[in-house]
Amino acid sequence: MNSLTKVVAVAAILSASAAFAQTYPSTTPASQSGHSADYAKLDKNGDGNISKDEAKADPSLSAKFDTLDKDKSGSLSMTELSEKTK
């Protein structure tokens, strides 16, 4: 019986540590944690860039598009978009 008690105790400890090791989703809204959610919504064709047409969905982004498009490629990368917040 003594060994059964030890096995149960070890199992309980291991179960508890596994529960504490879980990662949970962030409770921070996307608007505070970064723009990746907004970026994905704007990138309608999923090519990893926001074209001038896609940027029209966000009036403030559309107004600054030419300034943010540093490499003059006609689209904004995640890096160029991050300059908007600096």
Domains and CATH numbers, the chain: 35-86 (1.10.238.10)
pLDDT digits 0-9 by tens, 2-49: 777 776 666 666 666 555 555 544 433 344 444 555 878 888 998 989
Taking the CB of residue 12, how many other CB atoms lie within 10 A of it? 10
Distance CA 5, CA 66 (A): 70
pLDDT digits 0-9 by tens, 39-48: 788 889 989 8
pLDDT value at position 80? 86
Q: What is the mean pLDDT of residues 63-83?
A: 89
In the 8-state DSSP scheme, what is residue 50?
E
Distance CA 54, CA 40 (A): 11
CA 6 to chain centre: 44
| CB-based contact 48:73 (threshold 8 Å) | no
Hey, what are 62's tokens? 């559309």
